[in-house]
Structure formats: structure tokens, C-alpha cells
Structure 1
Amino acid sequence: MTQIQPFMTKITLLLCLTAFFQFHFTSSKPIGFSLKLIPRDSPNSPLYQGNLTKHERMQRLINITQAKAHYLQYKSSPNSSIVLENIRFTMIRDIFHFAVHVSIGNPIWQGYLLMDTGGGLIWTQCEPCISCFHLEYDNYDPRASSSYSRLPCDHPLCQAGLYQCVNGQCIYEVTYGGGDHDEDVRGLTKGYASLETFKFNTMRGGDPVFINDIIFGCSNDNQGFRFGADDNIAGVMGMSMSLDSLVSQLSDRIEKKFSYCLPSMLEEIENDILLNFGSDIPVPQNLQSTPFVTPAWANPYFYLNLLDISVGQDRIGFPPGTFQVSHDGTQGFFIDSGFPITTLNQNAYGTNVYLEVMNKFQAHYDSHKLERSSDSPHGFELCYEQPHDFHDFLTMTYHFERFAEYVVHSNDAHFFDELYDIFCVAILPGSGPSILGAFHQQNKRIIYNLNDNVLQFVTETCPF
């Protein structure tokens, strides 16, 4: 099997194919719709594990982040190479945080998929099965849908190698693993690259939107998957910048915009979290904007030009270029809601960003003579016993290009555990790019505006 360097090859592939997708969808009428994101801790989630304590929920979020960061580091290392069919960001099957409900085909088949912010392929388990995991409802059966067809081998995604043409059929093979080099945790899906009609609902109560010819995977050979005890997950919804992801396929139809507002990640969420597209996106006042470092459609992650960080009112003063993206993907700063906890690089061109930030937090809390605690979730390194009369918790500010000030409220910069009467600084050490995770995105309206090539944000109370 041909060996390739994953980062640069993926960039080249995206550049070569972007023109096709822009041409393919440009003539279509712009639309707006929303997907319901169902977090694991919602009673409505097919992955719901019952009434976990905040400590248990946070430990799970830390484990998810560490597994994803470990694989990102491995994938970006100079000595790593990945075979063509495994070029996508692979991950352990238990670390997806959001599920989405989908309706596809004619007549409509409905099921749950897990949202993958690091992968592009949309796929669901299909009949007739070669090897399939157990599902509580019927598998999608393309033979029963009048709107189904297979992707032809002369399609650019097959011609350029994102998929492969074998015996006149366009097929794919994707491996999901934890990045810990343990082959026992890997899941493998194989199937036919296909076209189908997807139904989406609108936030504003209008008629549902039907979109024909969405490229997705009809997976009839699945091995090693255990998505949850209730067997309600049928596949994966890719939401990265790969050209086969939902965002990329619908780029011009959604005016190259999508948005979300994440509530507290440690509460049981009763209301829907909406991933808004196009005209369904609310447009609040006082939006701040900062540009993506490179055109987002030619980059697998949303890198930002972070200039500096403040802890409380104390600006650290990192050297210029500390957060500059590198050509091999091992340096830089990007935003990704698929990483629950923010991670900061311990070797950003020689600067230990994590240590510098944590030292500021520690100096403040030590000055108040707070006692360090050992009853912390495994992974957080700076935790204190919390006196009931102490309220001087620090904020954290990311200073971005164009004077954009991204302020993380003290409630979202820390983990508070009332069960043990402790609090921790909610940041993890990293060995690759620094990542603005979902915990630091709580109660903010985040808009990915790819028309203007900027990230927009404003503080907002997100319902839960």
C-alpha cells in the first residue's frame, strides 16, 4: 500500500478538489437548516449513561481529550505515515461526545449518527450486511430507497484518491482507533461511496429542507464497533474540513457559514443544542471577528492567529510567533469543539505555553494561601480546596488578531466539584498544537464564517 505524509498530502488533495465542489453547488439556492446535537449527558442521548456526578463527567471529558490529542500528536509526527484509506482523523469509538438524528432516503429512514469533528466521511450501516454490529432498529437498506445511487468511479473523489475505484465500484475503508497503538481498540468500516437525499429541519419552523445527492458511505462491513449499551448508533457524521464532510459538500448552499452555542457541559442538558447552517444562524450584536490563518477550505483544522494570553488582568507576553502554524501541523493554535478540554502546548517553538499559563493561576491562588488538593480528576494538575467564602476566581483571555478579545469566564476556566469542595484550572498539557476546546467555548455564540474567512464570537447564555 502506498505510504504518504498525512498533513501535506491532505492539503494538496483539498486544494485540487475544492474547485469541483464550489462549481457543483454554486448554482444551488442558499438555504438554512439546523441539526440537533445531543450530548452524551442528555437523557435524550442514545449514549446516556445515567446520572453521573460532575467528577465522573469531567473525568470522561479529560479521557476523551487525551485520547484525541494523543492521536493528533502521533499523526503529525515526522516519523508517522498513514496508508491512503486511513488518512482521516481516526479515534477511539468511545470518545465521540455528540450524537445527531438523521433522516435520509425515500421513503425516509431515521437513525442516530455520532458527530466526528476530525473526520469527513458520513456513513451509516447498510444492508445487505457482510459484517454488521447490532442495532436496535432496522439498518438503512438502499434497495428500499428510490433516491439512492452509488457514486460513479469517474467522480473526482474517486479519481483523486479520497476513495478508491475497485472493480468498477467507488469504495472506501476507514479505521477508527484511539491513537494509543492498541490494535484491540480499532474499528473498521468498509462500504460503497453513495448518493442519497437528506432531510433537514429549520430552526424557524418552516418546511423541512430536502437536499439531493449528498455523498455518504453505505457501510456493509463493520468490525470492532461498540457504540453504546443500547445499540442505537448507526454510524458517523463527518464534520471536518475534508471535502466529503457535510460542511464542505454544502459550502455554497449554506453560504459557507455554520454556528453553535454550547451550554454547560457538566449539567444534564434538557434543551436541544442546535448546529445552525446558512440563514438559520442567529446574528447577535457585538460580534468580534478574527481571521483564520489560512483559507479554511484548504486546511483540515480551523487555525487562528493567537497573539497572547492573559490570566485575570495579567498579560503573559508570549514571544511573537509562539502560536504560528507550522507546515507539518505540529505547531499552531486551532479551535475544535470535538476536543472537550483546552490543551496548551508544552513546547511551542521552545516555549512551554501550558506552564506559563498555569504558573499565573498558581501564583494567584497561592497568594490567597489556598490549600492544594489531591482529590482531582486524573489529568488536571492544579487543584485547590475551595473555601466557602472564596470567590476571587480568575478569567482567561485569548488575544487574537484584529484586536479580538476572547474572554473565558471564570466559571468556564475552572472545574468546580461541590462533592469534594475543590476547584481545578480546566486546562490540559499538550505536546502538539494548542487547541481551544469545547469547555472554553461554553456560553458563546461561535460562527464559522468562511465567506469572510473569519471566526466570529460573542458571549451568549446558551440554553440547557
Structure 2
Amino acid sequence: MLADPPHPRGCESAKCTYSSAYMDGSFTHGHFVQDKLTFPSADRKSKVVVNDYMFGCGQNNSDVDPDGSIGLMGLSRSPISFVYQTASKFKKYFSYCLPSDISSTGYITFGKPDDLNNKYIKFTRIQTTPKQSQFYDVVITGISVAGKKIPIKRSVFVDGGAIIDSGTSITRLQPEAYAALKSAFRKEMSRYKLLAPDPEDGNIENCYDFSMYETVVMPKISFIFKGRVKLEVNVKGTMLAEDVKRVCLAFIAAGDGDGAVLGNLMQRTVQVVHDVEGRRIGFGPGTCA
């Protein structure tokens, strides 16, 4: 959701085309168009209208659902994203809560609510750069497993950087940070059967067979951000599972030189607040568990 929305690649006879590719290898190509965007307000008593809204109409897309539907809402800090094109209506402010599984319902809201209680939302700063990033850059200061902070040099996070991304599923960490997390997690999980890596799992390598256990105790993983802001990862955001015979840690190593990407799995059940104008990201208890 935070990847760059469609960008025009050229126009001819009043027809414009775009081409966009994303970090996971997916892509979309099509026509770049402009229209009036209309949708109900929160109280459904009025309508919100955005004139001259620009968007891409995909003609060739890599990811299509079985029913033929596909769509992407750009929520980045790009001038062409939904956030910036609706800035006059919603003041570049939105929040969401991603449910723990498909049996629950999540939500996304735009605009700052009048009754927002900041007491339960802890904010960390969006980092500024000489040239504004289109992403939501944050500073990780530490990671803990089972309540114990794992040894990672601060420079690993500072040099590589990190972004919060709702469009990426599995979290990617700098190799040194991932190695420390993997080691600490495996130590806490030593009582359970660790499976050999499966080439079909790609870079996922910490998988367990829980079929022989009646009860499984998972170590809690927490991320600490600049400003002493803590994000406790829900257990369903920690692991990936098709069945109890193969349950895998939902974290992998980023490429050498790449920064961390904090994906949507680890954001499950948390209210994630984007105060773009205030240059801050907030985390609080969600209501979509």
C-alpha cells in the first residue's frame, strides 16, 4: 500500500500510460487517467469529493485475484499518492488496524478524529532527509525477544534505516539484526522441533513442527523505536502457518546494504497512526483482533 502509485510514462493524443514495479517483483502497466473521486463521509450524511483525482487503470497486472479483481491504494509520501491528493480533505492523517486473520475485520480511517486519545498512542518521529523519502522512515533502537533485548549494534539500524510499510507482508531486517533475532528466537524455541529449510519457502528458514505438542509457548518479540516507543508484535504477526506441521518465523534477512522493511504481518491487531503533517508514526491498541 505504501509503494509508489502509478507514474505516467508518456502521453500521445491525450492518452497517457504508466508503468510501476514493486519491491516484491509485482508490477502493473496501464493508462493514467483523471476523474472526480466521490465517496461517503464517516457519518454517511454527506459526501467527500476530490476533483481532478489522478490514478492508474491497470491493463497488465502481475497479481490478480481469482475473481479477477486487483487494486492498490497508494498511501506513501509521494505527491501523487491518495494521502497527498486528498490532503485538503484529510490533512494527511490516516490510521489503520490490520486484523489477526481473515475471520476478523480491519479498518482504515482518513482524517484526524475529534476524540483521538493520544494517551494510548505512542508516537515516534518520521525521519527527515535532504530529499524527502516517499516512505515512512523510522529509527529502530532495539529489538527484544522474550523480554530480553538482543545484542545489535545501534549503527546497524542507523546506517541501514527502516521504513513502516503496509504493502509488504514479511518483515525484512538488516542481515546482522536478523541473525541476532534468529539466534535469540531459536534459543527460546529450543524445546520444539526445528525443521530443515524448504526451497519452496524462499528465504524463510525458521520453521517448526508443532503437531506433536498440545501447548506451544511463543516468545514475544518487541521493537523499540526512537522516543522509547515500543511495538509488541502479536503472536499471529510473528509466525506464518498453513498448518501446525510447518509454522515459520515471519522475518527474513534483507539484502546486503538494504534497510529494514517492517511489513504488515507484524502490524496485525495494532492501530498504526500516520500523522504525515506532524511527521510522526504512532502505535496503539487496535480494535480489530
What TM-score do the two structures reach when normalised by structure 1? 0.54
Q: Structure 1 residues 410 and 224, CA, compared in 2 at 3 Å: closer, same or farther?
A: closer
Q: Structure 1 residues 375 and 282, CA, compared in 2 at 3 Å: closer, same or farther?
A: farther
Structure 1 segment 348-387 matched on structure 2, within 5 A:
352-366=176-190, 368=191, 370-374=192-196, 378-379=201-202, 380-386=204-210, 387=212
- CA distance, structure 2, for counterparts of residue 384 and residue 167 of structure 1: 55
SS at match of 1:451: coil
SS at match of 1:263: coil
- CA distance, structure 1, for counterparts of residue 24 and residue 248 of structure 2: 27
Which residue of structure 2 aligns with residue 261 of structure 1? Answer: 97
Q: Which whole-Å deviations, capped at 9, do the CAs of 1:230-283 have from their partners, x for residues lacking one?
A: 3344x6443322211111112243122111000014x345x4x33211045873
User: Offset of 1:206 from its aligned partner?
Assistant: 2.9
Which one of the candidate residues 155, 179, 201 is aligned to 1:321? Answer: 155
SS at match of 2:217: coil
Which one of the candidate residues 339, 346, 369 is aligned to 2:168? Answer: 339
The yes-or-no answer on 1:445 pairing with 2:271 is yes
Q: Structure 1 residues 311 and 179, CA, compared in 2 at 3 Å: closer, same or farther?
A: closer
User: Offset of 1:171 from its aligned partner?
Assistant: 3.1
Which residue of structure 1 aligns with residue 140 of structure 2? Answer: 306
- CA distance, structure 1, for counterparts of residue 3 and residue 271 of structure 2: 21
User: Offset of 1:213 from its aligned partner?
Assistant: 2.2
Q: Structure 1 residues 168 and 391, CA, compared in 2 at 3 Å: closer, same or farther?
A: closer
SS at match of 2:179: helix
Matched residue type, 2:195? S
- CA distance, structure 2, for counterparts of residue 316 and residue 375 of structure 1: 24
User: Offset of 1:424 from its aligned partner?
Assistant: 2.4
Q: Structure 1 residues 236 and 296, CA, compared in 2 at 3 Å: closer, same or farther?
A: farther
User: Offset of 1:164 from its aligned partner?
Assistant: 6.8
CA contact 1:178–1:186 (8 Å) conserved in 2: no
Q: Structure 1 residues 342 and 225, CA, compared in 2 at 3 Å: closer, same or farther?
A: closer
User: Offset of 1:425 from its aligned partner?
Assistant: 1.9
CA contact 2:274–2:281 (8 Å) conserved in 1: yes
Structure 1 segment 61-140 matched on structure 2, within 5 A:
116-121=1-6
Q: Which whole-Å deviations, capped at 9, do the CAs of 1:429-449 have from their partners, x for residues lacking one?
A: 221221111110000000001
Larger Rg: 1
- CA distance, structure 2, for counterparts of residue 260 and residue 421 of structure 1: 32
Q: Structure 1 residues 372 and 334, CA, compared in 2 at 3 Å: closer, same or farther?
A: same
Structure 1 segment 23-422 matched on structure 2, within 5 A:
116-121=1-6, 163=8, 166=11, 169=14, 171-176=16-21, 187-191=28-32, 193-194=33-34, 196-217=35-56, 222-223=59-60, 227-233=64-70, 236-265=72-101, 267-269=102-104, 271=105, 273-279=106-112, 283-284=116-117, 285-294=119-128, 298-324=132-158, 331-346=160-175, 352-366=176-190, 368=191, 370-374=192-196, 378-379=201-202, 380-386=204-210, 387-416=212-241, 419-422=243-246
Which residue of structure 2 aligns with residue 48 of structure 1? Answer: none
Matched residue type, 1:358? K
Q: Structure 1 residues 425 and 187, CA, compared in 2 at 3 Å: closer, same or farther?
A: closer
RMSD, matched Cα: 3.1
- CA distance, structure 2, for counterparts of residue 442 and residue 362 of structure 1: 22
- The structure richer in helix per residue is 1
Gaps of 5+ in 2: none
- The structure richer in strand per residue is 2
Which residue of structure 2 aligns with residue 457 of structure 1? Answer: 283
- CA distance, structure 1, for counterparts of residue 12 and residue 147 of structure 2: 63
Matched residue type, 1:345? Q
Q: Which whole-Å deviations, capped at 9, do the CAs of 1:369-401 have from their partners, x for residues lacking one?
A: x22234977142112232534443101111111
- CA distance, structure 1, for counterparts of residue 13 and residue 135 of structure 2: 33
- CA distance, structure 1, for counterparts of residue 189 and residue 5 of structure 2: 43
SS at match of 1:402: coil
- CA distance, structure 1, for counterparts of residue 247 and residue 276 of structure 2: 37
The yes-or-no answer on 1:435 pairing with 2:261 is yes
What TM-score do the two structures reach when normalised by structure 2? 0.84
CA contact 1:295–1:453 (8 Å) conserved in 2: no
Q: Structure 1 residues 249 and 281, CA, compared in 2 at 3 Å: closer, same or farther?
A: farther
Matched residue type, 1:245? S
User: Offset of 1:422 from its aligned partner?
Assistant: 4.4
CA contact 1:120–1:243 (8 Å) conserved in 2: no
Q: Structure 1 residues 296 and 462, CA, compared in 2 at 3 Å: closer, same or farther?
A: farther
Q: Structure 1 residues 375 and 203, CA, compared in 2 at 3 Å: closer, same or farther?
A: farther
CA contact 2:163–2:262 (8 Å) conserved in 1: yes
CA contact 1:307–1:318 (8 Å) conserved in 2: no
Q: Structure 1 residues 214 and 429, CA, compared in 2 at 3 Å: closer, same or farther?
A: same
User: Offset of 1:460 from its aligned partner?
Assistant: 2.1
- CA distance, structure 1, for counterparts of residue 108 and residue 181 of structure 2: 31
Matched residue type, 1:428? I
